[in-house]
Structure 1
Amino acid sequence: MSFKKNLDYVHLSKYFYTTSIVLTIAGIICLSLFGLNYSVDFKAGSNVDISLSKPLTADQVKPILKQIGAEDGVISAGKDRMTIRFPATLSEDNDKKLKDEVLKLDDKASFEVNTVDPEMAKELARNAMWSVLFASIGIIIYVSIRFEWRFAIAAIVALLHDAFLVISVFSLLRLEVDLTFITAVLTIIGYSINDTIVIFDRIRENLRFGKQKTRQDLINLVNQSIAQTIMRSIYTALTVFVAAFFLFLLGGESIRMFSLAMVIGLLFGAYSSIFIASPLWFALKSRQKNKTAKAA
């Protein structure tokens, strides 16, 4: 397609760098102001999910919380589902009283109670951070061995960019962050590195069959490599995006945040692979060319 051949991706990247920097700064401000809306997976306390056969309002349930001495419980009511989050662990007696009273309002209601103590919450949060760190280190090592260190730096910057923007969106929208969200972030990293490696592999292949004497030669090589792989990257991301989008619309409540994180992350991943990772490699590689030219 002609538009791909004529498009100067390296030149356009400066606009996308600016966009990404603005989004990153906005994300940092958002996280500083609001933080993350952690689920019970990462906070001590109890989380009660109630599946309802008829709609119930928060006002109908608040008196029950007063009866059991848990007025600090936060109620989120939906059409056929209600979630009550307690900052403290719910005792067995209070758990039973809550269920009995709710069943008086809806005798077909079903309950799912998740309880996390403070030490477990800290351990889960710590393990989540380690998992992302180890995944990043593994990618750096693999790409450095398979390609070169410049590819590794470009890839990891793009991956951290994707993960951070997804986290920022969840912070801004006050969406719940749980263990499935961490799984989604790691999955996004996997898909993003796949797209990036496809383009990097084509760049490496084109490097073998051409001589890049000037900076413009290098620009042409990057633009050509992206043009040759862009439709594959778009089709791959679009296929997974459609699946994740319909999982978000039609899937159960337990995987909704996972699906939403995937939808957002896939968009950022496709964007960063094309407009961030490859041009960043070019920036690093062109410095090497400039140093070599000066030395000569």
Structure 2
Amino acid sequence: MKIIERTKLWFGLSLAIMAIGLVIILTTGLNFGIDFTGGTLMEINLHKTVSTQEIRNITNEYDKDMTINFVGAEKETIQIKTKKDFDSDKRQEVFNKFKEKYNLKEEQPEKAEQFGATVGKEIRNNAIISTLIAAVGMLIYVSFRFEFSYGIASIIALVHDVIILICAYAIFRVPVNSPFVAAVLTVVGYSINDTIVVFDRIRENMKHAKRNDYVNVANQSISSTISRSINTSVTTLVAITSLYVIGVDAIKDFTLPLIVGMAAGTYSSIFIASPTWVLIKQKTKF
């Protein structure tokens, strides 16, 4: 299997996706959710289970992009979020619509509040710090277990995965909320696992290879591990896709980036990390 010989093709595909995402980010920006922009949150107990579409028939009058979640095991309490700042009168107006439709006895929603973007800044900063700490820790671990060239290649693959994930948020207009942090760290952890499997086989094959025969070693190692990588990824993606299909909006906002991120992680461990390792070994003495 000639993977390394087509390095320009693999890098070109990734760069094309990144370019599309970058254009969208520069023109329309990321779809920052309420956690980052601030807005209004309300929780209303309807005392019955209703469909999301039925709720949207009311909320669309105020904000067609309003996020709707169900709270509690019985899913009788709805949580609605909007980036718009609703004052107390506006929040009461929204509640009265539900009160009238569902004959509620309450005079006010269970929870209603406005909040600014301060929390969003903290989440953003924590996301950056967490990702950097994870990247540095993985670089140290991979460099210690293998050698520095493997560590550099794995970090480049991780950066690739994070950028692809951000591009997915931009292309599919997924709201960038607090689950973004979990999605990034999950993808990073999943990707490094696949990459280490390939690198472990490369290290074993290097013991019996000719000096500087990096291309053949990488191709042989990828060929012997690609079935394992693809089977593991497909199994995981089937489970996550099921959650996306049957899940509520909040689950979909988390699982869609995971689907894209894990697919990117599998791709990078085969077509980005290994070719990058070959380039590093050919150009340096690491």
Confirm or deny a common fold (TM above 0.5): yes
Q: Any gaps of 5 or more consecutive residues in structure 2?
A: 71-77
Q: Hey, what's the Cα distance between the residues in 2 that align with 1:262 and 1:274? A: 18
How do residues 258-273 of structure 1 correspond to structure 2 at under 5 angstroms? 258-273=254-269
Give the C-alpha shift of residue 236 in structure 1: 1.0
Aligned partner of 1:229 in structure 2 is: 225
- 1:13-68, Cα deviation, whole Å (9 max, x unpaired): 221111112222222222111221111111222144778726548675577x5xxx
Aligned partner of 2:73 in structure 1 is: none
RMSD: 3.0
Give the C-alpha shift of residue 85 in structure 1: 1.1
Select the structure that is richer in helix: 1
Give the C-alpha shift of residue 112 in structure 1: 7.1
State yes or no: 1:184 paired with 2:180. Answer: no
- 1:172-214, Cα deviation, whole Å (9 max, x unpaired): 2222111112211210111110000000011111112x24334
1:61–1:273 distance in 2 versus 1, CA, 3 Å: closer
1:285–1:61 distance in 2 versus 1, CA, 3 Å: closer
The counterpart of 2:50, out of the listed 53, 75, 78, is 53
1:103–1:130 distance in 2 versus 1, CA, 3 Å: same
How do residues 213-252 of structure 1 correspond to structure 2 at under 5 angstroms? 213-214=211-212, 217-252=213-248
Aligned partner of 1:68 in structure 2 is: none
The two structures have a TM-score, normalised by structure 1, of 0.80
Q: Hey, what's the Cα distance between the residues in 2 that align with 1:259 and 1:57? A: 23
Aligned partner of 1:131 in structure 2 is: 130
Q: Hey, what's the Cα distance between the residues in 1 that align with 2:101 and 2:257? A: 35
1:75–1:8 distance in 2 versus 1, CA, 3 Å: closer
One-letter amino acid of the counterpart of residue 98, structure 1: V
State yes or no: 1:11 paired with 2:5. Answer: yes
The answer as to whether partners of 2:36 and 2:120 remain within 8 angstroms in 1 is: yes
Q: Hey, what's the Cα distance between the residues in 1 that align with 2:67 and 2:118? A: 29
Aligned partner of 1:30 in structure 2 is: 24
1:107–1:21 distance in 2 versus 1, CA, 3 Å: same
Tell me the number of residue pairs that the alignment of Structure 1 and Structure 2 aligns. Answer: 271
Secondary structure of 2:283's partner?
Answer: helix
The answer as to whether partners of 2:39 and 2:81 remain within 8 angstroms in 1 is: no
Q: Hey, what's the Cα distance between the residues in 1 that align with 2:65 and 2:83? A: 9
Q: Any gaps of 5 or more consecutive residues in structure 1?
A: 1-6, 66-72, 292-296
Aligned partner of 1:143 in structure 2 is: 142
The answer as to whether partners of 1:74 and 1:86 remain within 8 angstroms in 2 is: no
Percent identity of paired positions between Structure 1 and Structure 2: 34
One-letter amino acid of the counterpart of residue 15, structure 2: I
Secondary structure of 1:22's partner?
Answer: helix
One-letter amino acid of the counterpart of residue 122, structure 1: K
